[in-house]
Chain A
Amino acid sequence: MKVLVPIKRVIDYNVKVRVKADNTNVDLANVKMAINPFCEIAIEEAVRLKEAGVATEIIAVSIGDKSCQEQLRTALALGADRAIQIETEQVLDSLNIAKLLKKVVDEEQPKLIILGKQAIDTDNNQTGQMLAALTNMPQGTYASKVTIDGDKVQVTREVDGGLQTVSLSLPAIVTTDLRLNEPRYASLPNIMKAKRKPLEVKAAADFGIDLTPRTTLIKVTPPATRQAGVIVENVEQLIEKLKNEAKVIS
């Protein structure tokens, strides 16, 4: 079974992002970048399926400029067999990302596609579902457990009230939630080996898709800041303040 794992290069989750002074966007100059954490969980899940003898080949794909090859190399070091970079300088909406990924799906014919549920930069939570619609595949979003069972996959999903398990016909799309697994670290020998694994570069412009943006980013501003309040002496004073000053308890 072939597994496709689309991944995104994003700001490292430990870095505090700053808005540019001209309010055009956030400032990503000289900021540490990494694989989106949910995409890392997606790679790990694919690698575990391969170790279990279920998956036969793992293909990592990323869309962006040359710098995202760094994240693809990391995916290869973590256990992906080969990588595809779809090269573009343009910042793309999720829908256009999904359209490019559909072309890869058409060509590679994977049985399972695993993506992160959302990227921690735009917080959109869209690409997996959009790709599912375009490829007419069923989707198991926010997965905390994935079990392949013949020509079906059972996905346990994190939903508002608890967990929901669905059964999907393969080929299918899974998006990962944080409890699905704990990603491994790449070992030094695997990092060295990854340098020799195949990484194919394709130009987004050659895919024959209209990549005109569907949205305009008008401005980006810092959020309203909260003022730090007071430190209370003890529990009694806390209760007194909540009752008489904030009036949120009675």
Chain B
Amino acid sequence: MSILVYVEHDKGQLKAETLKTVAAAQAMGGSIDLLIAGENCQELAEQAAKINGINKVLVADNAVYAHQLAENVSLLVSKLAENYSHIVATALTTGKNFMPRVAALLDVAQISEIIGVESADTFVRPIYAGNAIATVQSLDSKKVITVRATAFDAVACDGNAEIITLDDVTDAGTSSFVSDELTKSERPDLGAARVVISGGRGMQNGENFKLLEGIADKLGAAIGASRAAVDAGFVPNDMQVGQTGKIVAPDLYIAVGISGAIQHLAGMKDSKIIVAINKDAEAPIFQVADYGLVADLFDALPELENKL
């Protein structure tokens, strides 16, 4: 058995989630190779080569992979797939985008967002926004799998694997990159933060999210939001935590003015400690919170910031 793990990266940096995806691959058993697709990614390859428990790092360094367009990356990965029994990627927006395309090109099913590995062909994954947990066996000869990184513990980084440069270039020629509009933030990534503080509809408007910033700075936290806050136009969608947004599992999750709809709980209920601040004592969020504070957030937030 041999496993190919696709490396998620951003701005030349390895994404921390990749280390957790490698852990999931180790649980499947077999030798693991990594694949990096991008442009100017030699430094990234050196970072990746340090990941423990891997055999080699394959690097496809070319302008056609610069923005990891699904059309081009899926051709690359499906071609490499002949040498592997398992193709594994992290369930972040890049992996979610191109992996089903790889599966279809290989004529196999994809098992999405696994949170557990039972054996080399049997996996555990949440369905219905995490309100049910399915155990699924793949009957295909090749397994195409995306991994929910929050469910696995990161592997260490003190290895020294061989780096192999691929010179095969596949350009589907049907899509091109136009522009990026990336949210600038000095704060940690939602997926990687140890503490997350999120606001919901109770924040009333986007301006009031400033009340979360001082606390986030003191705690080194990322700022998130519920779908209701995104739908209401308070904040951009990349802050959304939930079934259709980001899945987080930090050490501390603080939900402010969030009622606790099942779609939101799906994105954060695996956090170690959950704090809820809401003025409605009946809000369902209190049923999953370790610590609940029934209070008006406009009083509680400034006080919390002061006393931290």
Binding site for B on A (CB under 8 A): 11, 13, 16-17, 19, 26, 38, 93-95, 98, 117-118, 120-134, 136-139, 141-142, 144, 154, 157-169, 172, 177-179, 213-223, 226, 228-232, 234-236, 238-239, 241-242, 246, 248-249
Q: CB-defined interface of B220-254 with A at 8 Å, one 1/0 digit per residue?
A: 00000001001100001110000110100001100
CA distance A169 to B175 in the complex (A): 6
A121's nearest neighbour on chain B, judged by CB, is: B128
The answer to whether A232 touches B293 (Cβ under 8 A) is yes
Which residue in A138, A163, A223, A249 is a CB contact (below 8 Å) of B308? Answer: A249
The answer to whether A168 touches B175 (Cβ under 8 A) is yes
Q: Which residues of B contact A126 (CB under 8 A)?
A: 100, 103, 110, 112
Binding-face segment, B35-43, B56-64, B281-289? B281-289
The answer to whether B308 touches A154 (Cβ under 8 A) is no
Interface residues of B in 91-141 (CB under 8 A from A): 92-94, 96-105, 107-113, 122, 126-140
The answer to whether A139 touches B176 (Cβ under 8 A) is no
Mind listing 21 A-B residue pairs with CB under 8 Å?
A: A17-B128, A17-B131, A95-B109, A120-B129, A122-B127, A123-B113, A129-B104, A130-B103, A133-B101, A161-B180, A164-B179, A166-B175, A166-B178, A167-B176, A215-B139, A218-B122, A220-B132, A231-B293, A232-B291, A235-B293, A238-B291
The answer to whether B70 touches A139 (Cβ under 8 A) is yes
The answer to whether B238 touches A238 (Cβ under 8 A) is no
CA distance A218 to B177 in the complex (A): 41
Q: Which residues of B contact A93 (CB under 8 A)?
A: 109
Q: Which residues of A contact B100 (CB under 8 A)?
A: 94, 125-130, 133
Which residue in A124, A129, A142, A228 is a CB contact (below 8 Å) of B93? Answer: A142
Q: Which residues of A contact B183 (CB under 8 A)?
A: 161-162
Q: How far is the CB of A69 from chain B (nearest CB, A)?
A: 24
Which residue in A95, A159, A160, A169 is a CB contact (below 8 Å) of B104? Answer: A95
The answer to whether A160 touches B178 (Cβ under 8 A) is no
CA distance A179 to B233 in the complex (A): 9
Q: How far is the CB of A94 from chain B (nearest CB, A)?
A: 7
The answer to whether A168 touches B252 (Cβ under 8 A) is no
Q: How far is the CB of B78 from chain A (nearest CB, A)?
A: 9
Q: How far is the CB of A209 from chain B (nearest CB, A)?
A: 12
Given known A125-B100, A126-B112, contact A164–B180 (CB-CB < 8 A): yes
CA distance A180 to B159 in the complex (A): 44
CA distance A249 to B295 in the complex (A): 21
Given known A163-B181, A166-B177, A178-B230, contact A121–B112 (CB-CB < 8 A): no
CA distance A123 to B244 in the complex (A): 9
Given known A231-B286, A239-B304, A239-B308, contact A159–B127 (CB-CB < 8 A): no
